[in-house]
Structure 1
Amino acid sequence: MKVDIGRRGFLGLAAASLIACSTAEQAPRLVRVHKSPTCGCCGDWVTHLRQNGFEAEVHEIDDLEPIALRLGVPEQLRSCHTGEIGGYFVEGHVPAADIQRLLAERPNALGITVPGMPMGSPGMDRGPVRQPYQTLLVDRSGTPSVFANHG
């Protein structure tokens, strides 16, 4: 069955689609962040997220291990804070651009991580020292692979 919506109908549908897509792309995304109450670099990472269009819901807790265990963050890939967004974990000082890419590509994975606290990563960018680091993608079996190179 052929449906003829006409030129005006087509233009109206096209405009509505563009508005819907534009609104979805501009909508802030909520990251649930679990961090120690005494960690300053974690707060700086939250600021980085907010400056890059994310909303952050911060939960200050003393013991992050139960969160990491629940989300499947391998012990050797942990850092000082853990985020949750869109069904993924975001561990450590991950750049906002990597989170945006993760959400756009939607890989079959548990999440992404920047293990440790590399100087020059978001939240750890307080001085002239910058060290190269990688964002790792952790697949459903817990195996990491390089997601992005930085520096």
Structure 2
Amino acid sequence: MGHLRAGGYAVRTEDLDDLAPIKRKLGVPSSLQSCHTAVVEGYVIEGHVPADVIDRLLRERPTVAGLAVPGMPVGSPGMESPGQRAERYDVMAFDRQGRATVYASR
């Protein structure tokens, strides 16, 4: 959350015991699910998506449901770990039918 705040986003958190119903309602494909789920200007943001990639999404306004970083890759925002090399990972765009494509790579 700190990464998004530092990127200029106003963040409101809501701690829930079970996010599965929210993820289903928002249409996050099970293969792309991660630890955090957010909605930014109508787009679903799942997992540790970098703020600059969200900025790009909001500039370009593609016809997608949202973006996701599946899992919790080391080096993604909030998952930095001193002494560990950052993993390469993809930020996936997904549509309402559950189809996913690579939107950005890190």
TM-score class normalised by the smaller sequence:
over 0.9
Q: Which residue of 2 aligns with 1:138?
A: 94
Matching of residue 70 in structure 1 with residue 47 in structure 2: no
Task: Provide TM-score, normalisation by structure 1.
Answer: 0.68
Q: Which residue of 2 aligns with 1:29?
A: none
Answer 1 or 2: which has greater helix percent: 1
Q: Which has the larger radius of gyration?
A: 1
Q: Return the offset for 1:141.
A: 1.7
The one-letter code sitting in structure 2 at the alignment partner of 1:134 is D
Distance in 2, Cα, partners of 1:86 & 1:136: 18
Answer 1 or 2: which has greater strand percent: 1
Name which of 29, 48, 70 aligns with 2:3.
Answer: 48
Task: Provide TM-score, normalisation by structure 2.
Answer: 0.96
SS in 1 for 2:98: coil
Q: Output aligned runs, 1:97-136, within 5 Å.
A: 97-127=52-82, 128-136=84-92
Distance in 2, Cα, partners of 1:142 & 1:130: 28
The one-letter code sitting in structure 2 at the alignment partner of 1:58 is T
Identity within the alignment, %: 48
Q: Which residue of 2 aligns with 1:16?
A: none
Moved over 6 A (4+): none
Over aligned residue pairs, what C-alpha RMSD do you find? Answer: 0.8
User: Does the Cα contact within 8 Å between 1:138 and 1:145 map onto a contact in 2?
Assistant: yes
The one-letter code sitting in structure 2 at the alignment partner of 1:131 is E
Q: Greater relative contact order: 1 or 2 (C-alpha under 8 angstroms, separation 6 or more)? A: 2
Which one is further off, 69-78 or 122-131? 122-131
Gaps of 5+ in 2: none
SS in 1 for 2:11: strand
